[in-house]
Amino acid sequence: MISIGIFGAAGRMGQTIAAVATEAGLGLAGGTDRAGSGEIAPGIPITTDVAALAQASDVLIDFSVPGALSAHLDACIAAHKPILIGTTGLEPVHHALIDQAALVIPVLQTGNTSLGVNLLAALVEQAAAGLGDDWDIEIVEMHHRHKVDAPSGTALLLGEAAARGRGIDLADHSERGRDGITGARAKGAIGFAALRGGSVAGD
């Protein structure tokens, strides 16, 4: 049986993954979180010892915070364990760390692990390539009030797909946080609007 370790075990995604793994009969090695208290499942504590968790697990899943990523990657490298990274809000420095780690251990990083969303991204890329910049792209997403990053990882995943379809760099063509008299929308821009409120899981 595969033994799964969860970084960010006390968060919403960490708790959901633990519940799904338990229901599916998968093994849980444990979990870590900054507070290091509580249980990921009955009799399986949440600690702060990332190195011990990496050693005890066959595979690690990270849905924590960007600031913890470096320590999590170091622990996985030291233990020679693969990691799936679903943490969002990552900056270029984090992606550089991920690229370095991927030279040593298996790493899967994505803004969304849903098969449907990744299929949607492929369709967005095709549409953007076929329609050209006479068509405006606007990505509007809604998440619960506790989400700390914006745009969401899923929104950025779709934005990157659209940018690939157009053969452009998203960072150079992204429009966010419009307020006041912003002037006309730039041709070829990929716009983002992030809404936050209530308990919406993600739309």
Q: Calculate mean pLDDT across residues 120-132.
A: 96
pLDDT digits (tens, 9 = 90+) for 149-200: 899 999 999 999 999 999 999 999 999 988 899 899 999 999 999 999 999 9
pTM for the model stands at 0.81
Which pLDDT band holds residue 1 (cuts at 50, 70, 90)? confident
How far is Cα 138 from Cα 189, in angstroms, rounded to an integer?
A: 9
The CATH architecture annotation of domain 115-196 reads: 2-Layer Sandwich (3.30)
Positions annotated as catalytic residues are 143, 147
CB 34 within 8 A of CB 9: no
Instruction: Give the class (CATH, top level) of 3-109.
Output: alpha beta
pLDDT (tens digit per residue) in 93-103 = 999 999 999 99
CB 14 within 8 A of CB 60: no
CB 129 within 8 A of CB 166: yes
Q: Which residues of the chain form CATH 3.30.360.10?
A: 115-196
Give the model's confidence band at 132: pLDDT under 50 very low, under 70 low, under 90 confident, else very high. confident
Provide the edge-to-edge strand list for the sheet that holds 39-41.
Answer: 39-41, 44-47, 27-32, 3-7, 59-62, 83-85, 107-109
Structure tokens at 128: 């953007």
Residue 126 has pLDDT above 90, yes or no: yes
Q: pLDDT value at position 83?
A: 98
202: pLDDT confidence band, cut at 50, 70 and 90?
Answer: confident
Residue 69 has pLDDT above 90, yes or no: yes
Any idea what the Cα angle at residue 20 is, between residues 33 and 91, rounded to 5°?
45
Q: Which of 127, 119, 159 is nearest to 140 (CA)?
A: 159
Over residues 111-117, mean pLDDT: 91
Confidence at residue 161, expressed as pLDDT on a 0 to 100 scale: 97
pLDDT of 35: 87
Instruction: Give ranges for CATH 3.40.50.720 in the chain.
Output: 3-109
